[in-house]
Chains A and B, each alone.
Chain A
């Protein structure tokens, strides 16, 4: 029985989770928690709620792990998104009486079936694009993290990594070469181009 799972696609992942293997569960958690969080955030517009629901959905899976022993990871994913979707719906229904005004704007209407389905497709598409990011070398992923999570620009990244701005630009260019999805390219070119103009 393997104890180290490097990837979500490992064939023994779900049976190991059913056996209570925490390492296997950790892999599944890391693969699905952010996806579920984004999905709920998009529907609920409330980060704290989205995090709670993502946790609850994975907890529901963990409680039923034995039933998924021989299932595919895809089936587990469908289960997770279905639980999250239902929890978002329930939650919206319960929040008819809202406290703060900003909550009312976000939580006013119920979520329609159409929106749920469309949001699932959107997440699915974004995840396909994201798989290209996952295929990049670690230092380039780190670079993207600084851009998208920390919101740093080229100069700030250069300072943080202790390398020259040119070096940062080179690494960005290398990431670009490998990322074929147009969306990502567009997003990366903009700050790069902007900096180039500024340096003229």
Chain B
């Protein structure tokens, strides 16, 4: 049917005779849908074929697009091999060490005996109200915390939420110290999880055309839908995430080189200066001097913190240590540079520091812990 119709339409635009059978087919096709009739009108409008030719004859654009495709797909062919080689090498290394860690790797979660030492982080935050007063949310019992402009801030089961409709945007700020994380519900119903050493600033009532919030550090958002009022996250005053859909994570720790926005559901638009990109689920936008989008992101790794996990897969020792600094409120120093050690595995975040360090030692990390200073020693403990 499709090829027949195309052939008949082709004859029609060339003002050639069509047979009675073809006329019947064409008539049936036109009766079939309003969309078909609209297309029949369009193909007789020269503006439409202009648009087609403008795309088809833009050889330079197609060539640029091919170069992009080459970079993204074709030249990558060698890289997976390279990566596989390294993955194989790190597994061999572990087998050689006969590590119990590897044996547990298939389970992905390592059981760790609790030892009395530096405790892991827990829920907690400091709320700064519009008038500047501060409230420690760590040990808050269920109940109202403050009333501002007719909006009640209250804590329920260790989570902050807002109730009531205010008409003035009074700004609140939540700061998460090291060794804390916190979950809150914004006045519009959006749920935000904040990781250690992070902040969020938001109004107690969203007014105007946009729902604007500002963050630093790391946060995961599940944005409440509101078509009339888009949700915009300003990150470190460096870039913005404009929300078209729902679930995403932003990692904007200042010691990282990039701000990484990872999308789990829906769609978001990353805006940095004049540059903007829409990303899709499973994609991550890295923003430094410009926006770069990578796909095939392991989102479970990005979301590990919110799910109460550490995930060391393909993570550098430096990055793991930064996570430990924030979660255990310790300082990490390197006695002689950062040792070249491949880490693998996952574990829950609710273990005391010593338990976690024991596992890192299994992977080859030499260290010395004095008070809250963790010194990483040179060499590989397995060798």
What CA separation (Å) do A133 and B322 show in the bound complex?
Answer: 60
Most A Cβ at <10 Å: residue of B14, B61, B269: B14
Give the shortest distance, in Å, between B221 (CB) and chain A (any CB).
Answer: 13
Specify the chain B residue showing the minimal Cβ separation from A120.
B2
What CA separation (Å) do A114 and B38 show in the bound complex?
Answer: 11
Q: Is B81 close to A, CB under 8 A? A: no
A125 touching B9, Cβ below 8 Å: yes
A119 touching B72, Cβ below 8 Å: no
Q: Is A99 close to B, CB under 8 A? A: yes
Quick one: given A118-B33, A186-B46, are A145 and B59 in contact (CB under 8 Å)?
yes
Give B68-80 as 1s and 0s: 1 = Cβ < 8 Å from A's Cβ atoms.
1110111001000
Which residues of chain A in 94-148 are interfacial with respect to chain B, using CB atoms and an 8 Å cutoff?
94-99, 104, 112, 114-115, 117-126, 128-130, 133, 141, 144-145, 148
Q: Is B113 close to A, CB under 8 A? A: no
Quick one: given A118-B35, A126-B49, are A35 and B56 in contact (CB under 8 Å)?
yes
What CA separation (Å) do A58 and B72 show in the bound complex?
Answer: 11
B10 touching A145, Cβ below 8 Å: no
Quick one: given A41-B55, A59-B72, A125-B43, are A94 and B266 in contact (CB under 8 Å)?
yes
Q: Is B131 close to A, CB under 8 A? A: no
B14 touching A49, Cβ below 8 Å: no
B242 touching A99, Cβ below 8 Å: yes
Chain A interface SS verdict (over half)? helix
A117 touching B35, Cβ below 8 Å: yes
- Which residues of A have CB within 8 Å of B43? 122, 125-126, 183
Specify the chain B residue showing the minimal Cβ separation from A184.
B49
What CA separation (Å) do A114 and B39 show in the bound complex?
Answer: 11
A121 touching B225, Cβ below 8 Å: no
Q: Is A79 close to B, CB under 8 A? A: no
What CA separation (Å) do A118 and B44 show in the bound complex?
Answer: 14
B73 touching A144, Cβ below 8 Å: no
Q: Give the size category of B's interface with A.
A: 35 or more
Give A184-195 as 1s and 0s: 1 = Cβ < 8 Å from B's Cβ atoms.
101100100000
Q: Is B227 close to A, CB under 8 A? A: yes
B13 touching A182, Cβ below 8 Å: yes
B74 touching A22, Cβ below 8 Å: yes
Which residues of chain A in 73-106 are interfacial with respect to chain B, using CB atoms and an 8 Å cutoff?
91, 94-99, 104
Quick one: given A30-B62, A118-B38, A145-B59, are A98 and B227 in contact (CB under 8 Å)?
yes
Q: Give the size category of A's interface with B.
A: 35 or more
Q: Is B267 close to A, CB under 8 A? A: yes
- Which residues of A have CB within 8 Å of B294? none
B39 touching A122, Cβ below 8 Å: yes
Quick one: given A98-B244, A117-B35, are A148 and B57 in contact (CB under 8 Å)?
yes
- Which residues of B have CB within 8 Å of A59? 69, 72-73
Specify the chain B residue showing the minimal Cβ separation from A100.
B230
A121 touching B6, Cβ below 8 Å: yes
Most B Cβ at <10 Å: residue of A51, A133, A148: A148
Q: Which of A33, A49, A187 contacts B65 (CB 8 A)?
A: A33
What CA separation (Å) do A186 and B3 show in the bound complex?
Answer: 25
Give the shortest distance, in Å, between B54 (CB) and chain A (any CB).
Answer: 5
- Which residues of A have CB within 8 Å of B56? 34-35, 38, 130, 133
A54 touching B2, Cβ below 8 Å: no
B66 touching A141, Cβ below 8 Å: no
With A91-B267, A115-B35 given, can you name 8 additional A-B contacts, CB distance below 8 Å? Answer: A25-B74, A41-B51, A52-B278, A98-B227, A118-B36, A123-B52, A130-B52, A149-B54
B residues adjacent to A (C-beta < 8 A): 2-3, 5-6, 9-10, 13-15, 32-36, 38-39, 42-44, 46, 48-59, 61-63, 65-66, 68-70, 72-74, 77, 225-227, 230, 242-245, 266-267, 269, 278, 280
Query: Could you show 20 A-B contacts with beta carbons less than 8 Å apart?
Result: A26-B66, A29-B69, A30-B63, A35-B56, A38-B52, A38-B55, A55-B65, A95-B244, A97-B245, A114-B32, A114-B35, A117-B36, A119-B35, A121-B6, A123-B52, A129-B49, A130-B56, A148-B50, A181-B13, A183-B44
4 shortest interchain CB distances as A-B pairs = A114-B35, A114-B33, A118-B35, A148-B53
